[in-house]
Amino acid sequence: MEKIEHIGIAVKNLEQANALFAKLLGKAHYKIEEVASEGVRTSFFDVGGIKIELLEATHPDSPIARFIDKKGEGIHHLAFGVRDIDRHIAAANQNGFQTLAPHAKDGADNKRIVFLHPKHTNGVLVEMCEDKE
């Protein structure tokens, strides 16, 4: 793992959360992006090179909708930037972690991403992400 790339926060209303975080951080989000395959609309803030990713569900079956139903709004995942995500996926599975998908898939912000099951990471949903070439 190279660095903390971003922190994902589940929110019910992206517009309201954007306004709130803009007030908190003293700067506006720099982009909004929908990832249809994940059922999310995201916005990004840059805080000293580490991003805050706000996540809003786009439909009731979205993983973010289910997360909010169960736990309410709040920190959803911690994302680590990696190089060679395929090697990290193989190593994670070898080392007793469990990736939620066998291969990396396209995520927001021009990344290839994969999640690790939180039952093996002290309850923290961990994302590994790599910049697409």
- Interaction between residue 81 and Zn ion (CB under 5 A): no
Q: Which is nearer to Zn ion, 46 or 94 (CB)?
A: 46
Side by side, the strands of the sheet bearing 31-35 are: 31-35, 40-47, 50-57, 3-10, 74-81, 126-131, 111-116, 105-107
Contact criterion met (CB below 8 Å) for 77 and 8? yes
- Interaction between residue 7 and Zn ion (CB under 5 A): no
Encoded tokens for 37:
């395959």
Tell which one of 8, 11, 52, 128 touches Zn ion (CB under 5 A).
8
Number of residues that bind Zn ion (CB under 5 A): 4
Stretch that binds Zn ion, among 27-35, 44-52, 56-64, 78-86 (CB under 5 A): 78-86
45-74: which residues touch Zn ion (CB under 5 A)? 53
Distances (CA, A) of 23 to 6, 29, 44, 47: 19, 11, 14, 13
Contact criterion met (CB below 8 Å) for 27 and 71? no
Stretch that binds Zn ion, among 61-69, 88-96, 116-124, 125-133 (CB under 5 A): 125-133
- Interaction between residue 79 and Zn ion (CB under 5 A): yes
Q: Which is nearer to Zn ion, 68 or 79 (CB)?
A: 79
Smallest gap from Cβ 112 to Zn ion, in A, equals 12
Q: Rounded to an integer, what distance in angstroms lies between the CA atom of residue 111 and that of residue 109?
A: 6
Smallest gap from Cβ 82 to Zn ion, in A, equals 13
Contact criterion met (CB below 8 Å) for 128 and 79? yes
Q: Which residues of this protein are in contact with Zn ion, per CB under 5 A?
A: 8, 53, 79, 127
